[in-house]
Amino acid sequence: MKAVVWTRYGLPDVLQLEEVATPTPKDNEVLVKIHATGVTAGDCEMRRLQLPLGLSLPMRLYVGLSRPRRVTILGQELAGEVAAVGHAVTNFAVGDQLIAATGFGFGAYAEYACLPAGATAGGTATLAPKPANLTYAEAATLPVGGLEALHFLRRANVRRGESLLINGAGGSIGTLALQLAKHYGAEVTAVDSTGKLAMLRELGADHVVDFTQEDFTKLGRTYDIIFDVVGKSPFSRTLQALKPGGRYLLGNPRVATLVRGWWATKTSDKQVISATSEPRRADLLLIAELAAAGTLKPVVDRTYPLAQAAAAHRYVETGQKTGSVALVI
């Protein structure tokens, strides 16, 4: 089969299209013929191995000290159909269409992948039926952004009528978090660049802020919840923009911000929440059901063929994408 192989740490050109052996499913696995996979900022960070300090060394020890060895194919989410099943698999059959979050196993930049068919957690893969109303490219971009958005909004315990601001609302996590927050009944302010504001209004944002023209922390408004997807909002001023008892969600924090967040939670009536999610089948099933009902609509900026994975990475790293980017296989 064809796969994009991660040959070393570095720039996008380290991703090379190669012929590799097609995997064979174990007893509890399904072999998935992949039709599309999302290209996430997390994939780009892994490729460079430019991760937060607390993750960089453990991931290098796990993946390989000098170059990738244990994980050689990137890609954390996919949509495809079951091509074969292991002897112990009873919940999927050949021909079933599905979506999956692959967890720390990665492996979605390929024509095929073997994934565990049971309900799993702890960083491993999880699968759910593909929403029939979505294309493969759309469906492939649901798992990572959807699971992250759902995780943080649950941690914040967002309630009907609360005000919520999303900083970085125009990306893969932000667009789905906006729609989930509206589903929960929140009043949503979406912050992003000029070219994304019309799309954010179409997704249901009650208010938009163009960060190239205004700093949301200086507008004199306060919110019950602030979700900083991109991890770039000024910490002290963001806390001041929270109402009493407010929650500050940090999607991509630096170590220093984590320490400040811990202290702020201990010494004030505001919570700073930064824990990342783990793939859980029940959560992915919920995301798939909401998408099938039309409550969640993935936004796909552009697609690339598998052979152009490096170009897709370069585009994602510009920070200009609206919603998600997918590789179509």
- Residues sharing a CB contact under 8 Å with residue 145, sequence separation 6 or more, in sequence order: 38, 40, 171, 172, 173, 175, 176, 177, 298, 324
**Cα 193 from Cα 195, distance rounded (Å):** 6
pLDDT in tens, the chain (329 residues): 999 999 999 999 999 999 999 999 999 999 999 999 999 999 999 999 877 666 778 888 888 988 999 999 999 999 999 999 999 999 999 999 999 999 888 999 999 999 999 755 445 679 999 999 999 999 999 999 999 999 999 999 999 999 999 999 999 999 999 999 999 999 999 999 999 999 999 999 999 999 999 999 999 999 999 999 988 889 899 999 999 999 999 987 777 777 787 887 888 889 888 877 777 899 999 999 999 999 999 999 999 999 999 999 999 999 999 999 999 99
Q: Which whole-number Å values give the CA distances from 71 to 38, 65, 100, 302, in the listed order?
A: 17, 12, 18, 26
Q: What is the pLDDT of residue 204?
A: 97
Q: Do 2-142+298-328 and 145-273 come out as alike in CATH topology?
A: no
In CATH, the number for domain 2-142+298-328 is: 3.90.180.10
Say what the pLDDT of residue 121 is.
Answer: 46
User: Domain coordinates of the chain in residue numbers?
Assistant: 2-142+298-328, 145-273
The CATH number assigned to the domain with range 145-273 reads: 3.40.50.720
pLDDT at 53: 63
Question: For residues 153 and 180, is the Cβ–Cβ distance under 8 A?
Answer: yes
In one letter, which amino acid is 217? T
CA atoms lying within 13 Å on the CB side of residue 248:
31
Containing H/E element for 236? helix 235-240
Q: How far is residue 119 CA from its own chain's centroid? A: 19
- The span from the CA of 148 to the CA of 86, in Å, is 30
